[in-house]
Amino acid sequence: MIHGFADRMCDVSGGRATAEAIPGAELVLIEGMGHNLPPGLRSQLAARIAEFVWRAERR
């Protein structure tokens, strides 16, 4: 899961609770990111998503 510390729509506590409720979940918290996909973080976010897909396909 990817969550921004600056998200005003969904508090970080919700992301933490969701990650704790899902066995094997990994929570990535990104400083300065809100409830959006900022252009400056898109390559980092794409890499995180690609890594998740790669790991899921290996199972």
| Per-residue model confidence as pLDDT tens digits over 4-27 | 999 999 999 999 999 999 998 999
Structure tokens that stand for 34 in this block: 């809100």
Question: Could you tell me which of 57, 59, 50, 52 has the C-alpha nearest to residue 25?
Answer: 52
CB 8 within 8 A of CB 1: no
Residue pair 24/44 in contact (Cβ under 8 Å)? The answer is no
Specify the pLDDT at position 59.
Answer: 78
pTM of the full structure: 0.76
- Count of structural domains within the chain: 1
- By residue range, what is the domain housing residue 11? 2-58
Q: Is 1 helix (H, G, I), strand (E, B) or coil?
A: coil
Of the pLDDT bands very low, low, confident and very high (cuts 50, 70, 90), residue 56 is: confident
